[in-house]
Structure 1
Amino acid sequence: MFTQRGDRFWTYEEPLRFFGVELGRIMSVMKLSSGGLFVQSPAELTPELKRALDDLGEVRFVAATSKLHGHLYMEQYRAAYPDVELLAAPGLAARRTDLQFDHLLGDTPDPRWGTDIDQAAIVGHRWLTEIAFFHRPSRTLILGDVGFHIGERSPLKTRLVARTLRIYERISPPIELRLTITNEATFRRSIRDVLAWDFDRVVPGHGEIVDSGGKRAVLDGYDWLLE
Protein backbone atom coordinates (compact mmCIF):
# COMPACT_ATOMS: atom_id res chain seq x y z
CA MET A 1 0.00 0.00 0.00
CA PHE A 2 2.94 2.33 0.62
CA THR A 3 5.39 3.74 -1.88
CA GLN A 4 8.91 4.02 -0.52
CA ARG A 5 10.41 7.24 -1.79
CA GLY A 6 13.63 7.50 0.15
CA ASP A 7 15.54 6.41 3.22
CA ARG A 8 12.92 5.51 5.86
CA PHE A 9 10.22 7.51 4.07
CA TRP A 10 6.92 6.28 2.57
CA THR A 11 3.77 7.84 1.14
CA TYR A 12 0.20 6.63 0.81
CA GLU A 13 -2.24 8.38 -1.54
CA GLU A 14 -6.02 8.26 -1.45
CA PRO A 15 -8.89 10.13 -3.14
CA LEU A 16 -10.35 13.32 -1.70
CA ARG A 17 -13.20 15.27 -3.29
CA PHE A 18 -13.77 18.90 -2.32
CA PHE A 19 -16.86 20.65 -3.72
CA GLY A 20 -17.02 18.00 -6.42
CA VAL A 21 -13.37 18.34 -7.44
CA GLU A 22 -10.97 15.43 -6.98
CA LEU A 23 -7.86 16.75 -5.23
CA GLY A 24 -6.43 13.64 -3.61
CA ARG A 25 -4.57 13.58 -0.33
CA ILE A 26 -1.19 12.21 0.71
CA MET A 27 -0.10 10.64 3.99
CA SER A 28 3.62 10.63 4.79
CA VAL A 29 5.24 8.07 7.08
CA MET A 30 8.75 8.48 8.45
CA LYS A 31 10.66 5.90 10.47
CA LEU A 32 12.62 7.62 13.21
CA SER A 33 16.11 6.71 14.31
CA SER A 34 14.48 5.40 17.49
CA GLY A 35 12.47 2.92 15.40
CA GLY A 36 9.04 4.48 15.89
CA LEU A 37 6.88 5.91 13.10
CA PHE A 38 5.98 9.56 12.60
CA VAL A 39 2.77 9.88 10.56
CA GLN A 40 1.85 13.17 8.90
CA SER A 41 -1.66 13.82 7.56
CA PRO A 42 -3.08 10.43 8.56
CA ALA A 43 -5.33 8.56 6.14
CA GLU A 44 -8.39 6.55 7.14
CA LEU A 45 -7.08 3.67 9.22
CA THR A 46 -8.56 0.72 7.39
CA PRO A 47 -7.55 -2.80 8.49
CA GLU A 48 -5.33 -3.05 5.41
CA LEU A 49 -3.59 0.24 6.14
CA LYS A 50 -3.08 -0.69 9.79
CA ARG A 51 -1.42 -3.97 8.81
CA ALA A 52 0.85 -2.11 6.40
CA LEU A 53 1.79 0.42 9.08
CA ASP A 54 2.46 -2.31 11.62
CA ASP A 55 4.81 -3.96 9.16
CA LEU A 56 6.85 -0.73 9.09
CA GLY A 57 7.06 -0.25 12.84
CA GLU A 58 5.25 1.17 15.86
CA VAL A 59 3.17 4.30 15.28
CA ARG A 60 4.42 6.80 17.87
CA PHE A 61 3.43 10.25 16.58
CA VAL A 62 0.56 11.44 14.39
CA ALA A 63 0.70 15.03 13.17
CA ALA A 64 -1.66 17.41 11.41
CA THR A 65 -0.31 20.15 9.17
CA SER A 66 -2.86 22.80 10.13
CA LYS A 67 -6.28 23.22 11.70
CA LEU A 68 -7.71 22.45 8.24
CA HIS A 69 -5.31 19.92 6.79
CA GLY A 70 -4.39 16.44 7.99
CA HIS A 71 -6.49 16.07 11.14
CA LEU A 72 -9.15 13.72 9.78
CA TYR A 73 -9.03 10.21 11.25
CA MET A 74 -6.70 11.15 14.12
CA GLU A 75 -9.24 9.67 16.52
CA GLN A 76 -8.86 6.30 14.77
CA TYR A 77 -5.13 6.29 15.50
CA ARG A 78 -5.77 7.16 19.15
CA ALA A 79 -8.12 4.19 19.42
CA ALA A 80 -5.83 1.75 17.58
CA TYR A 81 -2.55 2.80 19.24
CA PRO A 82 -3.06 3.59 22.95
CA ASP A 83 0.50 4.90 23.34
CA VAL A 84 0.41 7.17 20.29
CA GLU A 85 0.89 10.92 20.73
CA LEU A 86 -1.31 13.26 18.71
CA LEU A 87 0.40 16.48 17.59
CA ALA A 88 -1.74 19.56 17.01
CA ALA A 89 -1.00 22.34 14.55
CA PRO A 90 -1.87 25.86 15.78
CA GLY A 91 -5.63 26.27 16.15
CA LEU A 92 -6.45 22.59 15.82
CA ALA A 93 -7.09 21.88 19.51
CA ALA A 94 -9.86 24.49 19.53
CA ARG A 95 -11.41 22.94 16.45
CA ARG A 96 -11.10 19.29 17.51
CA THR A 97 -12.30 19.49 21.10
CA ASP A 98 -13.17 15.80 20.86
CA LEU A 99 -9.46 14.94 20.92
CA GLN A 100 -6.84 15.16 23.63
CA PHE A 101 -3.62 16.39 22.06
CA ASP A 102 -0.22 15.63 23.53
CA HIS A 103 1.87 18.34 21.90
CA LEU A 104 1.42 21.68 20.14
CA LEU A 105 3.56 22.03 17.02
CA GLY A 106 5.56 25.16 16.31
CA ASP A 107 8.92 26.16 14.88
CA THR A 108 11.00 23.88 17.08
CA PRO A 109 10.89 20.07 16.71
CA ASP A 110 10.69 17.90 19.79
CA PRO A 111 14.00 16.09 20.49
CA ARG A 112 12.20 12.76 20.12
CA TRP A 113 11.85 13.34 16.38
CA GLY A 114 14.15 16.32 15.87
CA THR A 115 17.13 14.17 14.88
CA ASP A 116 15.25 13.08 11.75
CA ILE A 117 12.61 15.76 11.16
CA ASP A 118 12.76 19.53 11.19
CA GLN A 119 9.69 21.74 11.15
CA ALA A 120 8.72 25.37 10.59
CA ALA A 121 5.56 27.35 11.19
CA ILE A 122 4.38 29.22 8.09
CA VAL A 123 2.78 32.38 9.46
CA GLY A 124 1.48 35.66 8.12
CA HIS A 125 -1.91 34.47 6.85
CA ARG A 126 -5.15 35.88 8.22
CA TRP A 127 -6.56 32.67 9.64
CA LEU A 128 -4.19 29.81 8.87
CA THR A 129 -0.85 28.80 10.33
CA GLU A 130 0.65 25.71 8.75
CA ILE A 131 3.50 23.46 9.84
CA ALA A 132 5.96 22.39 7.14
CA PHE A 133 8.16 19.35 7.78
CA PHE A 134 11.57 18.38 6.45
CA HIS A 135 12.64 14.74 6.63
CA ARG A 136 16.43 14.86 6.59
CA PRO A 137 17.31 11.23 5.71
CA SER A 138 15.24 11.33 2.49
CA ARG A 139 15.67 15.08 1.81
CA THR A 140 11.90 15.49 1.60
CA LEU A 141 9.82 18.62 2.19
CA ILE A 142 6.24 17.93 3.28
CA LEU A 143 3.59 20.63 2.85
CA GLY A 144 -0.15 21.07 3.26
CA ASP A 145 -2.39 23.71 1.74
CA VAL A 146 0.50 26.09 1.06
CA GLY A 147 1.75 23.54 -1.45
CA PHE A 148 -0.87 22.28 -3.89
CA HIS A 149 0.60 20.68 -7.03
CA ILE A 150 -2.04 19.65 -9.56
CA GLY A 151 -0.54 18.09 -12.67
CA GLU A 152 -1.52 16.55 -15.97
CA ARG A 153 -2.46 13.19 -14.42
CA SER A 154 -5.39 14.80 -12.58
CA PRO A 155 -8.94 14.61 -14.01
CA LEU A 156 -9.90 17.29 -16.56
CA LYS A 157 -12.23 19.09 -14.14
CA THR A 158 -9.49 19.25 -11.53
CA ARG A 159 -7.01 20.62 -14.06
CA LEU A 160 -9.44 23.31 -15.18
CA VAL A 161 -10.11 24.40 -11.60
CA ALA A 162 -6.40 24.30 -10.82
CA ARG A 163 -5.66 26.71 -13.67
CA THR A 164 -8.24 29.13 -12.26
CA LEU A 165 -6.72 28.81 -8.76
CA ARG A 166 -3.17 29.18 -10.20
CA ILE A 167 -1.98 25.85 -8.84
CA TYR A 168 -1.72 23.90 -12.10
CA GLU A 169 1.79 22.47 -12.45
CA ARG A 170 2.93 24.84 -9.70
CA ILE A 171 3.74 24.21 -6.04
CA SER A 172 1.77 27.06 -4.56
CA PRO A 173 -1.29 27.86 -2.45
CA PRO A 174 -4.62 28.53 -4.18
CA ILE A 175 -5.24 32.13 -5.19
CA GLU A 176 -7.80 32.70 -2.39
CA LEU A 177 -5.18 31.82 0.21
CA ARG A 178 -2.67 34.13 -1.46
CA LEU A 179 -5.17 36.99 -1.41
CA THR A 180 -5.82 36.60 2.33
CA ILE A 181 -2.20 36.91 3.47
CA THR A 182 -2.15 39.76 5.99
CA ASN A 183 1.59 40.07 6.58
CA GLU A 184 3.42 39.37 3.34
CA ALA A 185 6.87 40.02 4.83
CA THR A 186 6.30 37.45 7.58
CA PHE A 187 4.86 34.93 5.15
CA ARG A 188 7.84 35.46 2.82
CA ARG A 189 10.25 34.94 5.70
CA SER A 190 8.52 31.66 6.56
CA ILE A 191 8.88 30.39 2.98
CA ARG A 192 12.54 31.42 2.93
CA ASP A 193 13.06 29.42 6.14
CA VAL A 194 11.62 26.39 4.35
CA LEU A 195 13.83 27.01 1.31
CA ALA A 196 16.89 26.99 3.58
CA TRP A 197 16.41 23.24 4.08
CA ASP A 198 18.39 20.88 1.86
CA PHE A 199 15.41 19.16 0.22
CA ASP A 200 15.08 17.64 -3.23
CA ARG A 201 11.68 15.90 -3.04
CA VAL A 202 8.41 17.72 -2.27
CA VAL A 203 5.23 16.04 -1.01
CA PRO A 204 2.38 18.53 -1.54
CA GLY A 205 -0.81 18.66 0.46
CA HIS A 206 -2.78 17.75 -2.66
CA GLY A 207 -1.74 16.64 -6.12
CA GLU A 208 1.41 15.10 -7.52
CA ILE A 209 4.66 14.45 -5.66
CA VAL A 210 7.83 16.02 -7.05
CA ASP A 211 10.49 13.35 -6.60
CA SER A 212 13.46 15.49 -7.69
CA GLY A 213 14.14 19.14 -8.38
CA GLY A 214 11.79 20.13 -5.60
CA LYS A 215 13.63 23.24 -4.46
CA ARG A 216 13.52 24.73 -7.95
CA ALA A 217 9.83 23.84 -8.15
CA VAL A 218 9.05 25.69 -4.91
CA LEU A 219 11.04 28.72 -6.06
CA ASP A 220 9.12 28.76 -9.35
CA GLY A 221 5.75 28.25 -7.66
CA TYR A 222 6.39 31.09 -5.25
CA ASP A 223 7.74 33.58 -7.78
CA TRP A 224 4.77 35.85 -6.96
CA LEU A 225 6.07 36.17 -3.39
CA LEU A 226 9.85 35.94 -3.75
CA GLU A 227 10.42 38.32 -6.67
Structure 2
Amino acid sequence: MLERLGDRFWTHEEPLEFYGVELGRIMSVMRLSSGGLFVQSPAELTPELKAALDDLGEVRFVAPASKLHGHLYMEQYRAAYPDVELLAAPGLAPRRPDLRFDGLLGDVPDPRWAADLDQVVIDGHRWLSEIAFFHRPSKTVVLGDVGFHIDRTSPLKTRLVARLLRIYERVGPPIEFRLTIANEETFRRSIQDVLAWDFDRLVPGHGRIVESNAKRAVLEGYDWLLED
Protein backbone atom coordinates (compact mmCIF):
# COMPACT_ATOMS: atom_id res chain seq x y z
CA MET A 1 0.00 0.00 0.00
CA LEU A 2 2.80 2.43 0.94
CA GLU A 3 6.29 1.83 -0.40
CA ARG A 4 9.20 3.15 1.60
CA LEU A 5 11.79 4.80 -0.63
CA GLY A 6 14.06 6.55 1.83
CA ASP A 7 14.45 8.09 5.24
CA ARG A 8 10.91 9.03 6.38
CA PHE A 9 9.60 8.98 2.80
CA TRP A 10 6.90 6.76 1.27
CA THR A 11 4.89 6.68 -1.96
CA HIS A 12 1.60 5.22 -3.10
CA GLU A 13 0.71 4.80 -6.78
CA GLU A 14 -2.82 4.69 -8.13
CA PRO A 15 -4.29 4.40 -11.65
CA LEU A 16 -5.21 7.55 -13.56
CA GLU A 17 -6.61 7.48 -17.08
CA PHE A 18 -6.64 10.66 -19.17
CA TYR A 19 -8.46 10.57 -22.53
CA GLY A 20 -8.06 6.80 -22.62
CA VAL A 21 -4.35 6.88 -21.78
CA GLU A 22 -3.18 5.33 -18.52
CA LEU A 23 -0.79 7.75 -16.84
CA GLY A 24 -0.94 6.73 -13.19
CA ARG A 25 -0.42 9.17 -10.34
CA ILE A 26 1.92 9.11 -7.36
CA MET A 27 1.21 10.27 -3.83
CA SER A 28 4.17 11.12 -1.60
CA VAL A 29 4.16 10.86 2.19
CA MET A 30 6.86 12.48 4.32
CA ARG A 31 7.14 12.12 8.08
CA LEU A 32 8.27 15.38 9.59
CA SER A 33 10.68 15.80 12.49
CA SER A 34 7.63 16.60 14.61
CA GLY A 35 6.25 13.14 13.87
CA GLY A 36 3.33 14.39 11.76
CA LEU A 37 2.82 13.42 8.13
CA PHE A 38 3.00 15.72 5.11
CA VAL A 39 1.00 14.24 2.21
CA GLN A 40 1.57 15.52 -1.32
CA SER A 41 -0.92 14.78 -4.14
CA PRO A 42 -3.27 12.73 -1.95
CA ALA A 43 -4.71 9.50 -3.31
CA GLU A 44 -8.22 8.24 -2.68
CA LEU A 45 -8.39 7.59 1.04
CA THR A 46 -9.50 3.97 1.09
CA PRO A 47 -9.73 2.15 4.44
CA GLU A 48 -6.53 0.30 3.55
CA LEU A 49 -4.62 3.48 2.77
CA LYS A 50 -5.92 5.20 5.89
CA ALA A 51 -4.75 2.28 8.03
CA ALA A 52 -1.31 2.44 6.41
CA LEU A 53 -1.05 6.18 7.02
CA ASP A 54 -2.21 5.83 10.61
CA ASP A 55 0.57 3.31 11.19
CA LEU A 56 3.11 5.98 10.18
CA GLY A 57 1.77 8.89 12.22
CA GLU A 58 -0.81 11.65 12.24
CA VAL A 59 -1.67 13.26 8.90
CA ARG A 60 -1.05 16.97 9.54
CA PHE A 61 -0.69 18.61 6.13
CA VAL A 62 -2.13 17.76 2.71
CA ALA A 63 -0.84 19.59 -0.37
CA PRO A 64 -1.36 19.47 -4.14
CA ALA A 65 1.24 20.20 -6.79
CA SER A 66 -0.95 22.71 -8.62
CA LYS A 67 -4.51 23.79 -9.28
CA LEU A 68 -4.76 20.83 -11.68
CA HIS A 69 -2.60 18.17 -10.09
CA GLY A 70 -3.09 16.47 -6.76
CA HIS A 71 -6.15 18.21 -5.32
CA LEU A 72 -8.59 15.32 -5.79
CA TYR A 73 -9.68 13.61 -2.59
CA MET A 74 -8.52 16.44 -0.32
CA GLU A 75 -12.05 16.59 1.11
CA GLN A 76 -11.69 12.95 2.23
CA TYR A 77 -8.67 13.86 4.34
CA ARG A 78 -10.55 16.75 5.93
CA ALA A 79 -13.35 14.36 6.90
CA ALA A 80 -11.00 11.67 8.22
CA TYR A 81 -8.56 13.97 10.04
CA PRO A 82 -10.37 16.94 11.66
CA ASP A 83 -7.09 18.62 12.64
CA VAL A 84 -5.47 18.32 9.21
CA GLU A 85 -4.46 21.48 7.34
CA LEU A 86 -5.27 21.61 3.64
CA LEU A 87 -2.85 23.71 1.63
CA ALA A 88 -3.70 25.41 -1.66
CA ALA A 89 -1.45 25.74 -4.67
CA PRO A 90 -1.71 29.02 -6.63
CA GLY A 91 -5.10 29.25 -8.31
CA LEU A 92 -6.62 26.23 -6.58
CA ALA A 93 -8.96 27.95 -4.12
CA PRO A 94 -11.30 29.33 -6.84
CA ARG A 95 -11.44 25.86 -8.43
CA ARG A 96 -12.38 24.19 -5.16
CA PRO A 97 -14.89 26.49 -3.42
CA ASP A 98 -16.14 23.40 -1.59
CA LEU A 99 -12.92 23.28 0.44
CA ARG A 100 -11.66 25.49 3.25
CA PHE A 101 -7.92 25.93 2.83
CA ASP A 102 -5.65 26.66 5.76
CA GLY A 103 -2.77 28.18 3.82
CA LEU A 104 -1.42 29.10 0.39
CA LEU A 105 1.79 27.47 -0.80
CA GLY A 106 4.57 29.66 -2.13
CA ASP A 107 8.36 29.80 -2.32
CA VAL A 108 8.89 29.89 1.45
CA PRO A 109 8.27 26.72 3.49
CA ASP A 110 6.26 27.02 6.68
CA PRO A 111 8.44 26.79 9.82
CA ARG A 112 6.48 23.71 10.85
CA TRP A 113 7.96 21.69 7.98
CA ALA A 114 10.95 23.82 6.96
CA ALA A 115 13.43 21.58 8.79
CA ASP A 116 12.49 18.69 6.52
CA LEU A 117 11.01 20.22 3.37
CA ASP A 118 11.92 22.99 1.00
CA GLN A 119 9.67 24.21 -1.78
CA VAL A 120 9.67 26.48 -4.81
CA VAL A 121 7.00 27.82 -7.14
CA ILE A 122 7.66 26.78 -10.72
CA ASP A 123 6.32 29.82 -12.51
CA GLY A 124 6.40 31.43 -15.93
CA HIS A 125 3.74 29.30 -17.63
CA ARG A 126 0.73 31.01 -19.18
CA TRP A 127 -1.90 29.42 -16.95
CA LEU A 128 -0.26 27.09 -14.44
CA SER A 129 2.05 27.50 -11.46
CA GLU A 130 3.30 24.39 -9.71
CA ILE A 131 4.88 23.72 -6.32
CA ALA A 132 8.00 21.55 -6.31
CA PHE A 133 9.09 20.02 -2.99
CA PHE A 134 12.45 18.80 -1.75
CA HIS A 135 12.54 16.32 1.12
CA ARG A 136 15.98 16.73 2.64
CA PRO A 137 16.27 13.53 4.75
CA SER A 138 15.70 11.29 1.72
CA LYS A 139 17.23 13.66 -0.88
CA THR A 140 14.03 13.42 -2.92
CA VAL A 141 12.41 15.99 -5.20
CA VAL A 142 8.65 15.70 -5.75
CA LEU A 143 7.10 17.18 -8.90
CA GLY A 144 3.72 17.23 -10.63
CA ASP A 145 2.95 17.90 -14.29
CA VAL A 146 6.34 19.51 -14.95
CA GLY A 147 7.87 16.13 -14.18
CA PHE A 148 6.36 13.38 -16.31
CA HIS A 149 8.60 10.32 -16.61
CA ILE A 150 7.11 7.70 -18.93
CA ASP A 151 9.39 4.78 -19.74
CA ARG A 152 9.27 1.21 -21.06
CA THR A 153 7.41 -0.01 -17.98
CA SER A 154 4.28 1.92 -19.07
CA PRO A 155 1.55 0.36 -21.29
CA LEU A 156 2.16 0.44 -25.05
CA LYS A 157 -0.49 3.10 -25.73
CA THR A 158 1.00 5.32 -23.03
CA ARG A 159 4.48 4.92 -24.49
CA LEU A 160 3.27 5.83 -27.99
CA VAL A 161 1.49 8.96 -26.77
CA ALA A 162 4.53 9.88 -24.65
CA ARG A 163 6.70 9.79 -27.75
CA LEU A 164 4.33 12.19 -29.50
CA LEU A 165 4.35 14.50 -26.49
CA ARG A 166 8.18 14.28 -26.21
CA ILE A 167 8.14 12.92 -22.69
CA TYR A 168 9.17 9.33 -23.37
CA GLU A 169 12.14 8.37 -21.17
CA ARG A 170 12.61 12.05 -20.30
CA VAL A 171 11.76 14.02 -17.17
CA GLY A 172 9.70 17.05 -18.12
CA PRO A 173 6.34 18.42 -19.26
CA PRO A 174 4.45 17.52 -22.45
CA ILE A 175 5.16 19.50 -25.60
CA GLU A 176 1.93 21.54 -25.34
CA PHE A 177 3.07 22.77 -21.92
CA ARG A 178 6.40 23.91 -23.36
CA LEU A 179 4.62 25.78 -26.16
CA THR A 180 2.50 27.74 -23.70
CA ILE A 181 5.29 29.06 -21.48
CA ALA A 182 4.71 32.80 -21.21
CA ASN A 183 8.01 33.83 -19.61
CA GLU A 184 10.83 31.47 -20.46
CA GLU A 185 13.37 33.24 -18.24
CA THR A 186 11.11 32.95 -15.18
CA PHE A 187 10.42 29.30 -15.94
CA ARG A 188 14.15 28.65 -16.42
CA ARG A 189 14.98 30.24 -13.06
CA SER A 190 12.36 28.05 -11.39
CA ILE A 191 13.91 24.87 -12.81
CA GLN A 192 17.37 26.11 -11.83
CA ASP A 193 16.06 26.59 -8.27
CA VAL A 194 15.05 22.93 -8.27
CA LEU A 195 18.44 21.90 -9.63
CA ALA A 196 20.13 23.84 -6.80
CA TRP A 197 18.80 21.28 -4.31
CA ASP A 198 21.03 18.38 -3.30
CA PHE A 199 18.77 15.57 -4.51
CA ASP A 200 19.36 12.09 -5.89
CA ARG A 201 15.81 10.72 -6.27
CA LEU A 202 12.82 12.20 -8.10
CA VAL A 203 9.14 11.37 -7.75
CA PRO A 204 7.31 12.49 -10.89
CA GLY A 205 3.67 13.41 -11.10
CA HIS A 206 3.12 10.58 -13.57
CA GLY A 207 5.28 7.67 -14.59
CA ARG A 208 8.23 5.91 -13.05
CA ILE A 209 10.22 7.14 -10.05
CA VAL A 210 13.85 8.05 -10.79
CA GLU A 211 15.64 6.20 -8.01
CA SER A 212 19.11 7.68 -8.48
CA ASN A 213 21.02 10.29 -10.53
CA ALA A 214 17.80 12.28 -10.71
CA LYS A 215 19.55 15.61 -11.06
CA ARG A 216 21.15 14.41 -14.28
CA ALA A 217 17.74 13.18 -15.47
CA VAL A 218 16.27 16.66 -14.93
CA LEU A 219 19.19 18.31 -16.72
CA GLU A 220 18.76 15.97 -19.69
CA GLY A 221 14.99 16.27 -19.72
CA TYR A 222 15.17 20.07 -19.68
CA ASP A 223 18.02 20.46 -22.16
CA TRP A 224 15.62 22.37 -24.44
CA LEU A 225 15.31 25.04 -21.73
CA LEU A 226 18.70 25.08 -20.08
CA GLU A 227 21.10 24.88 -23.03
CA ASP A 228 22.13 28.08 -24.77
TM range (shorter): over 0.9
Distance apart, 1:60 and its partner CA:
0.1
- Structure 1, gaps ≥5 residues long: none
Deviation at 1:225, TM superposition (A): 0.1
**2:180 counterpart of 1:180:** yes
Residue correspondence of structure 1 range 35-184 to structure 2 within 5 A = 35-184=35-184
Deviation digits for residues 91-114 of structure 1 (CA, Å, limit 9, x no counterpart) = 000100000000000000000001
Counterparts of 2:50 and 2:194, CA distance in 1: 31
- Residue in 1 that maps onto 2:11: 11
Instruction: Tell me what 1:224 maps to.
Output: 224
1:77 CA drift (Å)? 0.1
Cα distance in 2 for partners of 1:193, 1:120 equals: 7
Give the C-alpha shift of residue 116 in structure 1.
0.1
Three-state SS of the structure 1 residue aligned to 2:112 is: helix
Task: Note the alpha carbon deviations across 1:155-197, whole angstroms, 9 max, x for none.
Answer: 0000000000000000010000000000000000000000000
Q: Stretches of 4+ moved more than 3 A in 1?
A: none
Q: Distance in 1 between matches of 2:94 and 2:131?
A: 17
Identity score, percent: 81
What secondary structure sits across from 2:101 in the alignment? coil
Once the two structures are superposed, the pairs formed by residues 11-30 of structure 1 within 5 Å of their partners are: 11-30=11-30
Question: What TM-score, normalized by structure 2, do the two folds share?
Answer: 0.99
Q: Which amino acid in structure 1 is aligned with residue 165 of structure 2?
A: L
- Which residue identity lines up with residue 78 of structure 1 in the other structure? R
Measure the CA separation in 1 of the matches of 2:99 and 2:32: 25
Q: Distance in 1 between matches of 2:118 and 2:156?
A: 36
Question: 1:224: Cα distance to partner?
Answer: 0.2
Gaps of at least 5 residues in structure 2 are: none
CA deviations 1:25-83 (Å, max 9, x no partner) are 00000000000000000000000000000000000000011000000000000000000
C-alpha displacement of 1:205:
0.3
Q: Which amino acid aligns with 1:191?
A: I
C-alpha separation between the residues in 2 aligned to 1:38 and 1:212?
23
Tell me the matched-pair count: 227
TM-score (norm 1): 1.00
Matches of 1:167 and 1:3 in 2, distance apart? 25
